[in-house]
Amino acid sequence: MKKVGFIGGCDKSDLIMYVASILSKMQKKVLVLDATRLQKIKYIIPKIEPAASYITEFEKIDVAIGFRNISNVEEYLGEKLKYDIVLIDIDTARAIKENYITNVDLNYFVSTFDMYSLKKGIEILGRFEQPLNLTRILYDIEPNKEDEEYLNFLSLGKKVVWTDEIIYFLQENGDSRAIMNNQRLGKIKFSNMSSIFKENIAYIVQQIDDGATTKQIKTIIKNSD
């Protein structure tokens, strides 16, 4: 079972669900664990249960809501997890510790450049007890060297090792509006998303499942409408 952490103070729910959607269409058994404080994903997924904690299915993706960590999910199920991939949404230092993020297979740091997201994300990084490799996923108007340097400045002294690559999702190119429309429809659609969005999702999927080919992922995205 491969575990992937998405760490940061900004909202990552839609990003994770679009990644999970492609993985599930590649016949992977996927669990999305919302370990965030606000549990926003329960408002995005059409089905809402009355219980405080539950697992629901959305577009062949299992979504765990109301659980702080993987151990809590296993207690709920009464058995060890039997998934190919678990994607964990994290926005607190507590969730970092309880999900043993230093032992997972791959970790992303996700942030916009508003001060709340940046400083909240850096606050989380400041609680790492040992160095952690992180790939940056950044939302900005355009790739910006000054913003990258500012993030590097804020992270000085933190136990984080940035990988060389940065994945940029461009704001103000229509993707946010397309995501909102898809939420209203209760669908994960790619037809109304920008080419950059599709390329980035494909790249992240290939990092998570290195056995997948670019052609395979692009075909799935093309047919996922």
Domain ranges of the chain: 2-218
- Is the pLDDT at 174 greater than 80? The verdict is yes
When pLDDT is averaged across residues 197-211 and rounded to a whole number, the result is 94
pLDDT of residue 152: 94
pLDDT tens per residue, range 79-112? 999 999 999 999 988 888 888 777 789 999 999 9
Of residues 218 and 103, more confidently modeled: 218
Helix (H, G, I), strand (E, B) or coil at 94: helix
Please choose, from the candidates 142, 156, 154, 173, the residue with its C-alpha nearest in 3D space to the C-alpha of residue 116: 154
Look up the pTM and report it: 0.94
Share of the chain above pLDDT 90, in %: 69
Q: In what order do the strands lie in the sheet with 132-140?
A: 54-58, 61-65, 30-34, 85-90, 2-7, 106-111, 132-140, 160-170
pLDDT of residue 47: 66
Cα 84 from Cα 208, distance rounded (Å) = 11
Alpha helices in 45-114 (DSSP H): 70-77, 93-98
pLDDT tens per residue, range 22-80? 999 999 999 999 999 888 888 888 666 667 788 999 989 999 999 989 999 999 999 99
Tokens read off for 168: 């940029």
Average pLDDT, the chain: 91
CA quadruple 53, 57, 59, 61: dihedral sign = positive
Across-strand partners of 140? Answer: 170
Contacts of 29 (CB under 8 A, 6+ apart): 62, 82, 83, 84, 85
pLDDT tens per residue, range 111-123? 999 999 999 999 9
Overall CATH class of domain 2-218: alpha beta
pLDDT of residue 99: 82
pLDDT of residue 28: 96
